């Protein structure tokens, strides 16, 4: 018997330590190669560690909640499988994958009889599958016998005769309501999966299904997921009610001490380095975003964006990309060389960082090569980024290599702020809340949708003139999104 020890690997660039969050196995369990054995929390995210060995878990060498250095042995696995090769030790064969859109009948295949079709007729239409092969309706010949039918034609139930006006009206409605192929696929792929009873419960409780981490076997939100999410919300309210400690206790006994580690530790270090290494300068601009709000409303109603969450943040992200191309030095880095010299590295690509507040702290994952994405692709990327960050599944690679960051403080109802630049970058844009305010337009005071943009810049790279022109360009897109078509 050989005993293999698994050392904590470097799962991210420059990782030096990690905390064992939870073990997924225990001594005596049989594991196969690539089975998940534990979750670790690095300075950037929670990562699942797969087993590099197959065999039986001999010992867990590190307890949960303990932080260890890279290279430390955390588990030992023997190469023998404990017990007899019972079904518990051997993985059950995976069921055959079911096709997403069903299967079309093979040409020439015999049609099943009514007795063998079960409760579901063979020719029943399948939503999203498209027309059956050779199931094309043709105008019947005048002299054709009544019993003559096409081999693959679907069964048609007898209907009552309709007037020509009714026929014309129904055909027109069918053409108008037919979704585009892009809209159908987008809705199937991007819509949150959940059964109708679960959707009803979510509506009754006022829960947005996109905020719930899905644990169903097919990625759907289950009733248990809603119960867990609601319990978490209730617990937060209960904590608020009982937050203040008992008045009879001394104050030094009513202090909660929270260890600084993981994401919080990394964020604190990065912010201190940025604040004191890069001389910050901040500027602000008020923007009439009324046309952006109208544009977002049209996108939400568009069949091409069906099933995709669209918000003004999408337009701002596109505006930042557009403005950076016109003012390239905001998409750059200041690099100190070892010989005492320095250089400015202008990036001819955009890895757009989106600051995300998560239960584990602030994260800034970025969208790689955002400049190459269409508006729809960028919307999908933003949705995926938010869902992954909220679920705590953001990978270290997704948080490296950012070139410019956006922070959406308006989602919390804040007007503006002075954000700290993400290390390795020279600019960050704060997007304030959008609300109706009195605005002078063509000499008249009328209510308009107004927001405030705040930008912080590294003054070593971005001068006042450049920062002003960049912010003016971003504001111009929010005021008139049609400029993106130029």
- Residues with active-site annotation: 459
C-alpha distances out from residue 247 to 242, 252, 254, 256, 455, Å: 12, 12, 9, 15, 44
What distance, in Å, lies between the first and last C-alpha atoms of the chain? 69
Question: What is the total residue count of the chain?
Answer: 486
Residue 447: other Cβ atoms inside 10 A: 12
What is the C-alpha separation between 181 and 187, in angstroms, rounded? 10
Collapsing DSSP to helix, strand or coil, 469 comes out as helix
Q: Which long-range contacts (CB under 8 A, 24 or more apart) does 256-263 make?
A: 261/19, 261/41, 261/67, 262/19, 262/41, 262/42, 262/43, 262/360, 262/361, 263/41, 263/43, 263/44, 263/45, 263/358, 263/360, 263/361, 263/362, 263/363
Q: Which helix (H) or strand (E) holds 394?
A: none
C-alpha distances out from residue 195 to 101, 209, 232, 263, Å: 18, 11, 22, 35
Q: Which helix (H) or strand (E) holds 360?
A: none
What is the C-alpha separation between 257 and 328, in angstroms, rounded? 45
Residue 400 DSSP one-character state: S
């Amino acid at each position: 018997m050989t005993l293999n020890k698994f050392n904590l690997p470097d799962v991210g660039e420059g990782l030096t330590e990690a905390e064992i969050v939870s073990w997924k196995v225990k001594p005596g369990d049989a594991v196969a190669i690539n089975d998940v054995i534990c979750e670790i929390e690095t300075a950037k995210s929670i990562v699942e560690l797969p087993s590099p060995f197959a065999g039986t878990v001999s010992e867990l060498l590190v307890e949960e909640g303990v932080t260890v250095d890279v290279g430390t042995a955390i588990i030992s696995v023997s190469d023998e499988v404990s017990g007899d090769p019972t079904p518990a030790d051997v993985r059950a064969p995976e069921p055959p994958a079911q096709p997403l859109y069903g299967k079309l009948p093979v040409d020439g295949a015999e049609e099943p009889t009514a007795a063998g079709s079960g409760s579901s007729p063979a020719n029943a239409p399948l939503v999203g599958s498209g027309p059956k092969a050779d199931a094309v309706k043709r105008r019947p010949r005048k002299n054709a016998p009544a019993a003559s039918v096409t081999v693959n034609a679907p069964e048609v139930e007898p209907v009552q005769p309709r007037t020509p006006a009714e026929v014309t009206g129904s055909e027109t409605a069918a053409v108008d309501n037919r979704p585009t192929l892009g809209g159908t696929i987008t809705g199937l792929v991007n819509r949150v999966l959940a059964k109708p009873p679960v959707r009803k419960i979510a509506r009754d409780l006022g829960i947005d299904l996109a905020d719930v981490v899905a644990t169903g076997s097919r990625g759907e939100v289950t009733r248990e997921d809603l119960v867990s999410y609601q319990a978490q919300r209730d617990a937060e309210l209960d904590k608020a009610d009982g937050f203040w400690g008992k008045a009879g206790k001394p104050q030094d006994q009513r202090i909660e001490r929270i260890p600084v580690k993981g994401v919080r530790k990394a964020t604190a270090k990065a912010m201190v380095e940025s604040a004191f290494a890069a001389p910050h300068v901040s500027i602000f601009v008020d923007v009439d975003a009324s046309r952006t709000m109208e544009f977002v409303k049209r996108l939400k109603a568009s069949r091409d964006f069906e099933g995709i969450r669209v918000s003004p943040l999408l337009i701002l992200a596109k505006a930042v990309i557009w403005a950076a191309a016109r003012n390239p030095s905001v998409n750059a880095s200041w690099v100190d060389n070892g010989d005492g010299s320095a250089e400015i590295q202008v990036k001819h690509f955009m890895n757009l960082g989106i600051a995300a507040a998560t239960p584990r702290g602030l994260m800034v994952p970025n969208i790689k090569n955002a400049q190459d994405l269409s508006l729809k692709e960028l919307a999908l990327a933003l949705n995926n980024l938010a869902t992954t960050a909220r679920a705590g599944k953001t990978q270290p690679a997704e948080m490296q290599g950012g070139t410019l960051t956006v922070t959406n403080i308006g989602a919390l109802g804040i007007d503006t702020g002075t954000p700290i630049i993400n290390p390795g970058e020279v600019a960050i844009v704060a997007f304030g809340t959008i609300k109706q305010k009195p605005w002078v337009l063509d000499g008249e005071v009328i209510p308009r949708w107004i927001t405030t943009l705040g930008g912080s810049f590294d003054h070593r790279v971005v001068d006042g003139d450049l920062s002003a022109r960049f912010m003016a360009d971003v504001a111009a897109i929010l005021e008139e999104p049609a400029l993106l078509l130029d």
